[in-house]
Structure 1
């Protein structure tokens, strides 16, 4: 299990921690387990929703970025605890953004202490080339007072930017 690190410019509620495990499951599926400690119950959880939806990162949302080791292309997956999700492909750093067609809807399930996201990876090799790939695991956490904190395995200098190559701190495949 690895800790996600809060961006230093955006405080989080006292005692809050976020860690992750991930593994590749059968049939090219990435599973990420997000483990959350929130002793003050300060996280604002979104209302239930389903299906593809944009703007999920504006509220509590779990994210994964999978990038090529051969070039700048990457895919972004957003999974809200509400059940809504989004998937995008990029040709380069924040360039060429478009919906990424998934073979099945990404899924998220759980409760306040543990959320498990399952992301279909079929079709990524056409975008990224063969595995291994670079992996960034991130989260936006919105508190009940509206404050947001930004979490990642690694952060680049400056403002939070999950698309930045420095966030791709793990390998997949």
Structure 2
């Protein structure tokens, strides 16, 4: 499933595209970002590790859900190789960090004009998900967060809003 992400304001100095593959208990998502990358802060690379509050800096997000249930899952990751995987019982409920059998794989390729980030994670029972959302947050050099998603329902970004989720094909 390919998607183009849009910003929730008039600024459009980036082009962000995502490609999502759900196969055999594996999530694979690629974000390709082109444009004025020098206007944004990318966190420095670290070791592959879990962390919270990635949304306070430049990060990428994927939400997966069953449209018949309130619960959903959130995956966050960064070009710094920091990531997390959460379960939420219902809309914006307290996040619960999920344990995994294997750590995800994150690969980053970056130059002046483009960054490509690939994220892969093994998850059981992927067939139960029939809707998803992809999003990203970019921190500007002025320390302002910009919010990108396939669809924005209101002036205030809300990636958890089911009205912005897409059907898995």
Q: TM-score range by the shorter chain?
A: 0.7 to 0.9
TM norm structure 1? 0.84
Find 1:91's aligned residue among 89, 92, 113. Answer: 89
Give the whole-Å Cα distance in 2 for the aligned partners of 1:40 and 1:97.
Answer: 31
Find 2:141's aligned residue among 135, 139, 144. Answer: 144
Instruction: Give unpaired runs (5+ residues) of structure 2.
Output: none
- From the two aligned structures, give the one with the greater strand fraction: 2
* Structure 1 counterpart of 2:33: 36
What is the total number of aligned residue pairs between the two structures?
163
Instruction: Give unpaired runs (5+ residues) of structure 1.
Output: none
* Structure 2 counterpart of 1:167: 164
Cα contact 2:136–2:148 (8 A) shared by 1:
yes
TM norm structure 2? 0.86
> Bigger shift: 98-107 or 159-168?
98-107
How do 1:100-111 residues align onto structure 2 when only pairs under 5 Å count? 100-111=98-109
Give the whole-Å Cα distance in 2 for the aligned partners of 1:104 and 1:31.
Answer: 14
* Cα distance per residue 1:13-32 (max 9 Å; x no partner): x631101111124x411111
Deviation of 1:146 after TM superposition, in Å, equals: 1.6
- Aligned-residue Cα RMSD (Å) equals 1.9
Give the whole-Å Cα distance in 1 for the aligned partners of 2:137 and 2:37.
Answer: 18
How do 1:1-173 residues align onto structure 2 when only pairs under 5 Å count? 1-8=2-9, 12=11, 15-25=13-23, 27-39=24-36, 41-49=38-46, 50-112=48-110, 113-122=115-124, 130-171=127-168
